[in-house]
């Protein structure tokens, strides 16, 4: 097997490749907020939330809630993503509240 | 800090929710008052806004006896048409419209509002929920007629179809989140159990495992539900190794649906940072043909120094047909892809079995990024029960660390690679100098501007004094030096 043939194969004592003295602790790479991958779910949640509030479409507000849930599930960097997510969530909730508890609008807007 | 944002946000949401509720209620209230004022001017207006009338009526009905009188007074003029159109079921309608305004002069029909036909207001009250149902866009009359019979479940279902669909989707999403999370964790743990625990390959090769101090801390670092990291350090020739497992987003139902169209695989990427003195001018990449071409175009170091090798170096066994090698120098590539590697992983026969787990190799000492000398291996992660299948691939990692750590280029190969590197280094240096000069110039210009501004601010007196001083100094400089002799 490979371990036997290569000289790097670890065996007790002389050929041990480990070097405890050179061990470095883990340093997580620093990412600026621009480098983060685009959070499509959060962006779509904001878009649908705004559309739901402006146009009084219930469907859009519900879809915004679903995208908020997806963004929450995929959240990696806790602090950075939470801002956009909370904004999207508030828009979506506002849309739902105005649609269900607000003044009923006559005509086609009421669905 | 995380703590304050956490505290602030629930409050903010609460405040916003309260605001929204308040707004909506106030708007509703406004409409109530509005109709009562507007209605006398247009009977057409009543028909247009039946909802608001009902709400006005509801208000009247709900209050105890005395207030209705006062309310009705304020509502005075509009009410007769109000009572006529809304209190009217279709039967009453034909009779009342004939006398809208004349009644105003003689009596206040509002006073009789609450009394006549208590069924009318209640029927209006029951009609208001009907207004909310999305499946009822027609005029008020139809809406009033519809709620009278009890609503069957089928009707309710249709009425609330959107809500039911969305809530059930959210429930499914939540359930899937937990099951997907567990599945991903199971795969990551299976890998760690096979390759990172006691007496496993990484334990035998590295002294520090895990991201903490290595004593009690867990081996894996979880960065999100589908990304796991394993760090190891303390070995000859290298500073450390980071293994990143990126899995399919099993916890996210929407991503799962998307993956039906764009399938993905679980991958694991090993990145080994080599010591400065341990890596010579090695630049080799191996991947499937299409991927190799993409790598050569996209990675900056490969783009600049390396090219796709079309043929195997003369007379040697070479990699499987599916694969392509991108390298700076054929000789180095040949040395890197040794016999042992070909037999075990990359050769024709071995690749038939292991090909499905292999994605790419990339060794470079001129990587663009924070670390320059990096070996990177990318494999497909098998599922939790089949972890043993990637043993040979994982064994490549320590093998190559040692191979490259000990490797020294022949003088022939070195002369070629040196030329390219020195050119690149010179360019980088020149760029750096250019940038530094630019910043210096900019700073000088800024300082000059500041001084000019300061001077302009000084008063004329001070300026004159300054000029005098300058002149004296110049004269002293110019005047012949007189030496005092002691005699």
Q: What are the DSSP calls for B81-146, one per residue?
A: HHIIIII--TTHHHHSTT-SSHHHHH--GGGGTSSS-THHHHHHHHHHHHHH-TT--S-HHHHHHT
pLDDT at B332 over 80: yes
Q: Give the one of A7, A41, A79 whose C-beta lies nearest to B2's C-beta.
A: A79
Residue B39 reports pLDDT greater than 60: no
Residue B49, token pair as written in the block:
């806004």
C-beta separation of B321 from B352 below 8 A: no
Residue of A47, A12, A77 lying closest to B2 (CA atoms): A77
- A34 and chain B in contact, CB less than 8 A: no
B364-367's contacts with Cβ under 8 Å and 24+ in sequence apart are: B364/B282, B364/B283, B364/B285, B364/B299, B364/B301, B364/B302, B365/B274, B365/B279, B365/B280, B365/B281, B365/B282, B365/B283, B366/B283, B366/B301, B366/B304, B366/B305, B366/B421, B366/B424, B367/B301
Average pLDDT over residues B237-252: 93
Average pLDDT over residues B135-150: 49
* pLDDT band for position B69 (cuts 50, 70, 90): very low
Record the tokens describing residue B350, joined without a space: 């071995």
pLDDT of residue B351: 92
More confident residue, A67 or B66: A67
Q: Which residues contact B372 (CB under 8 A, 6 or more apart)?
A: B364, B365, B366
Stated length of chain A: 111
pLDDT value at B28 more than 60: no
| Contact (CB, 8 A) for B281 and B421 | yes
Lowest model confidence (mean pLDDT) among B71-85, B113-127, B182-196, B340-354: B71-85
Task: Looking at the complex, report in whole angstroms how far the Cα of residue A34 sits from the nearest Cα belonging to chain B.
Answer: 16
Check A2 against B28: CB less than 8 A apart.
no
Nearest residue, CB atoms, B224 vs list A3, A76, A100? A76
| Residue-level pLDDT at B113 | 57
What percent of chain A lies above the pLDDT cut of 70?
A: 70
ipTM exceeds 0.85:
no
How high is the pLDDT of residue B156? 86
Q: Could you tell me if B224 lies within 8 Å of chain A, comparing CB atoms?
A: yes
Q: Say which DSSP state A103 is in.
A: P
pLDDT digits (tens, 9 = 90+) for B424-460: 889 989 999 999 999 999 999 999 999 999 888 887 7
Task: Check residues B116 and A88 and name the one with the higher pLDDT.
Answer: A88
Strand B358-364 and strand B374-380: the pairing is antiparallel
Instruction: Please name the member of B9, B20, B212 whose beta carbon is closest to the beta carbon of A86.
Output: B9
- Which residues between 70 and 99 in chain A have a beta carbon less than 8 angstroms from any beta carbon of chain B? 70, 73-76, 78-79, 82-83, 86, 89-90, 93-94, 97-98
Question: Using the 8-state DSSP alphabet, how is residue A18 labeled?
Answer: B
Interface membership of A111 toward B (CB under 8 Å): yes
- Cβ neighbors of B349 (< 8 A, separation 6 or more) are none
């Amino acid at each position: 097997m490979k371990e036997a043939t290569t000289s790097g194969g670890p065996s007790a004592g002389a050929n041990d490749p480990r070097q405890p003295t050179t061990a470095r602790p883990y340093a997580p790479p620093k990412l600026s907020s621009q480098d983060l991958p685009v959070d499509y779910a959060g962006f779509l949640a904001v878009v649908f939330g705004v559309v739901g509030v402006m146009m009084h479409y219930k469907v859009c507000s519900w879809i915004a809630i679903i995208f908020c849930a997806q963004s929450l599930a995929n959240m990696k960097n806790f602090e950075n993503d939470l801002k956009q997510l909370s904004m999207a969530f508030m828009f979506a909730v506002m849309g739902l509240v105005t649609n269900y508890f607000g003044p009923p609008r006559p005509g086609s807007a009421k669905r | 800090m995380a703590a304050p944002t956490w505290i602030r946000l629930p409050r903010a949401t609460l405040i916003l929710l309260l605001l929204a509720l308040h707004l909506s209620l106030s708007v509703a209230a406004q409409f109530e008052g509005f109709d009562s004022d507007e209605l006398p001017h247009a009977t057409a207006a009543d028909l247009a806004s039946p909802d608001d009338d009902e709400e006005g009526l509801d208000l009247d009905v709900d209050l105890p006896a005395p207030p209705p009188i006062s309310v009705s007074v304020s509502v005075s003029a509009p009410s007769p048409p109000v009572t006529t159109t809304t209190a009217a079921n279709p039967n009453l309608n034909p009779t009342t419209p004939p006398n809208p305004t004349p009644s105003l002069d003689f009596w206040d029909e509002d006073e009789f509002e609450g009394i006549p036909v208590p069924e009318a207001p209640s029927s209006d009250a029951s009609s208001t929920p009907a207004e909310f149902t999305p499946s009822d866009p027609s005029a008020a009359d139809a809406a009033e007629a519809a709620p009278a019979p009890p609503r069957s479940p089928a009707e309710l279902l249709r009425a609330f179809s959107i809500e039911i669909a969305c809530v059930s989707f959210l429930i499914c999403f939540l359930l899937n989140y937990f099951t997907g999370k567990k599945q991903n964790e199971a795969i990551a743990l299976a890998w760690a159990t096979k390759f990172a625990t006691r007496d496993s390959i990484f334990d035998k090769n590295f002294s520090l495992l895990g991201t903490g101090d290595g004593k009690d801390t867990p081996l894996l670092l979880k960065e999100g539900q589908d990304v796991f990291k394993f760090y190891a350090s303390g070995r000859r020739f290298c500073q450390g190794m980071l293994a990143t497992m990126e899995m399919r987003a099993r916890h996210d139902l929407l991503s799962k649906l998307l993956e039906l169209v764009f399938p993905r695989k679980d991958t694991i990427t090993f990145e080994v940072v080599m010591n400065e003195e341990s890596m010579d001018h090695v630049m080799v990449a191996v991947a499937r043909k299409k991927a190799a071409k993409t790598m050569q175009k996209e990675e900056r170091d490969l783009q600049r120094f390396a090219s796709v090798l079309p043929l195997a170096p003369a007379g040697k066994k070479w990699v499987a047909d599916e694969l392509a090698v991108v390298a700076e120098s054929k000789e180095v590539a040949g040395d890197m892809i040794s016999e042992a590697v070909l037999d075990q992983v990359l050769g024709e026969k071995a690749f038939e079995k292991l090909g499905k787990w292999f994605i790419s190799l990339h060794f470079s000492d001129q990587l663009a990024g924070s670390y320059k000398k990096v070996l990177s291996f990318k494999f497909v992660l098998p599922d939790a029960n089949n972890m043993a299948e990637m043993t040979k691939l994982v064994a490549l990692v320590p093998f190559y660390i040692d191979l490259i750590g000990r490797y020294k280029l022949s003088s022939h190969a070195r002369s070629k690679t040196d030329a390219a590197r020195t050119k690149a280094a010179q360019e980088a240096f020149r760029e750096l100098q250019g940038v530094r000069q630019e910043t210096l110039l900019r700073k000088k210009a800024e300082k000059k501007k500041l001084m000019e501004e300061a001077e302009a601010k000084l008063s004329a007196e001070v300026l004159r004094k300054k000029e005098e001083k300058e002149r004296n100094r110049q004269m002293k400089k110019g005047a012949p030096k007189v030496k005092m002799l002691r005699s």
